[in-house]
Amino acid sequence: MSVINTLLDASMSHLGGAIGAGLAAIGAGIGIGQIGKGAVESIARQPEASNDIRANMILTAAFVEGVALFAVIAGILAVLKA
């Protein structure tokens, strides 16, 4: 069996979709954690700017979560389609 046939096998696409969805979820968790860490450190340094920092943190976390949701859905569709 050639390498191309192995890569195009349906079971491999299931594996790829599952790994992709898992990596997207892990990446989003790490990214949102880094956003929160940066926001807390910034608020500790400049407490008077806490409202602006908090608003920007929430907006950025929402963007990260949206991209991660899209990636997880794409991974699930890859698993279900094959």
Q: What is the DSSP string of 2-16?
A: -HHHHHHSHHHHHHH
Is the CA virtual torsion 48, 51, 54, 56 positive or negative? negative
pLDDT digits (tens, 9 = 90+) for 37-52: 999 999 999 999 999 9
Res 8 pLDDT > 70: no
The type of residue at 72 is V
Picking from 42, 68, 66, the residue whose alpha carbon sits closest to that of residue 55 is 42
Query: Which one is predicted more confidently, 63 or 17?
Result: 63
The terminus-to-terminus CA distance of the chain in angstroms comes to 20
In this prediction the pTM is 0.75
Res 72 pLDDT > 70: yes
**Token duo for residue 67:** 């991209």
